[in-house]
Amino acid sequence: MTMFVPPKNQGIEMWDGSRTGVHGAIDVFGADEAMESAKFNIKVRDIVKNYQDIYIDLPPRTNLLSAENVTKNFNRARGIAFLQSLSWFRKMSDFLDRLALHRYFTGLNDQANEIKPLSRIVQNLRIIKSTSEIKLMRQAGEITGKAFIETMRYTKPGLLEHDLYAKIDFECRTRGAEYLAYVPVVAGGPNALTMHYVSNNMPLRNGDMVLMDAGGEYHGYACDITRTWPVNGKFTGPQRELYEVVLKVNRECIKLCTEKHGISLNGIHDLSLKLMNEELAQLGFRLSEGELDRTLYPHHVGHYLGLDVHDTPDLDRSRKLKKGMVVTIEPGLYVPFKNEYPEQYQGIGIRIEDNVLVGETEPIILSVTAPKEVVDIQYCMANLEGWD
Q: At 366, which CATH number?
A: 3.90.230.10
Number of domains in the chain: 2
How much helix, strand and coil, in percent to the nearest 5, is found in the chain? 45, 15, 40
Q: Give residue 70's pLDDT.
A: 43
Q: Give residue 115's pLDDT.
A: 75
Pair 97, 154 in one domain: no
Q: Is the pLDDT of residue 388 over 90?
A: no
pLDDT band (50, 70, 90) for residue 103: low
Of 147, 153, 149, nearest in space to 169 by CA: 147
Cα–Cα distance, 228 to 351 (Å, whole number): 6
Q: How far is CA 18 from the centre of its chain?
A: 32
Alpha helices in 37-130 (DSSP H): 40-48, 67-73, 76-85, 87-90, 95-106, 119-126
Pair 79, 145 in one domain: no
The per-residue pLDDT for range 178-190, each reduced to its tens digit, is 999 999 999 999 9
- The residue from 68, 96, 123 where one domain ends is 123
Q: Is the pLDDT of residue 114 over 90?
A: no
Query: Residue 60: exposed, middle, or buried by beta-carbon count in 10 A (0-12, 13-18, 19+)?
Result: exposed
Pair 158, 36 in one domain: no
Q: Is the pLDDT of residue 107 over 90?
A: no
Q: Give residue 291's pLDDT.
A: 97
The per-residue pLDDT for range 155-182, each reduced to its tens digit, is 999 999 999 999 999 999 999 999 999 9
- The answer to whether the CB of 343 falls within 8 A of the CB of 330 is no
Q: Give residue 365's pLDDT.
A: 99
In a domain, 387, yes or no: no
Q: Give residue 47's pLDDT.
A: 79
User: Which residue range(s) make up the domain with 30?
Assistant: 2-123
Q: Give residue 87's pLDDT.
A: 52
Tell me the Cα Rg of the chain.
26
Q: Give residue 383's pLDDT.
A: 83
Pair 106, 233 in one domain: no
Percentage of residues of the chain with pLDDT beyond 70: 84
Q: How far is CA 98 from the centre of its chain?
A: 30
Q: Which long-range contacts does 259-263 make (Cβ < 8 Å, 24+ apart)?
A: 259/320, 259/321, 259/322, 259/323, 259/358, 259/359, 259/360, 259/361, 260/360, 260/361, 261/321, 262/320, 263/320, 263/321
In a domain, 59, yes or no: yes
Pair 111, 207 in one domain: no
- The answer to whether the CB of 324 falls within 8 A of the CB of 360 is no
Q: Give residue 48's pLDDT.
A: 77
Pair 103, 141 in one domain: no
Of 250, 210, 252, nearest in space to 228 by CA: 210
Pair 314, 169 in one domain: yes
Q: Is the pLDDT of residue 3 over 50?
A: yes
- The answer to whether the CB of 331 falls within 8 A of the CB of 253 is yes
Helix (H) or strand (E) holding 247: helix 237-255
In a domain, 21, yes or no: yes
117 vs 227: which has the higher pLDDT: 227
The per-residue pLDDT for range 38-88, each reduced to its tens digit, is 898 888 878 777 888 888 776 655 444 444 444 444 444 455 555 555 554
In a domain, 35, yes or no: yes
Q: Give residue 46's pLDDT.
A: 81
Q: Do β-strands 209-214 and 185-188 pair in parallel, antiparallel, or remain unpaired?
A: antiparallel
Distances (CA, A) of 270 to 149, 249, 287, 295: 31, 11, 16, 16
The per-residue pLDDT for range 138-150, each reduced to its tens digit, is 999 999 999 999 9
Q: How far is CA 28 from the centre of its chain?
A: 31
Cα–Cα distance, 326 to 172 (Å, whole number): 21
Q: Is the pLDDT of residue 30 over 60?
A: yes
Q: Give residue 64's pLDDT.
A: 41
- Looking at every residue in the chain, the average pLDDT score rounds to 89
Q: Give residue 279's pLDDT.
A: 98
Pair 231, 322 in one domain: yes
Total residue count of the chain as it appears in this document: 388
The per-residue pLDDT for range 345-375, each reduced to its tens digit, is 999 999 999 999 999 999 999 999 999 999 9
In a domain, 386, yes or no: no
Pair 152, 228 in one domain: yes
Q: Give residue 42's pLDDT.
A: 84
Cα–Cα distance, 115 to 22 (Å, whole number): 30
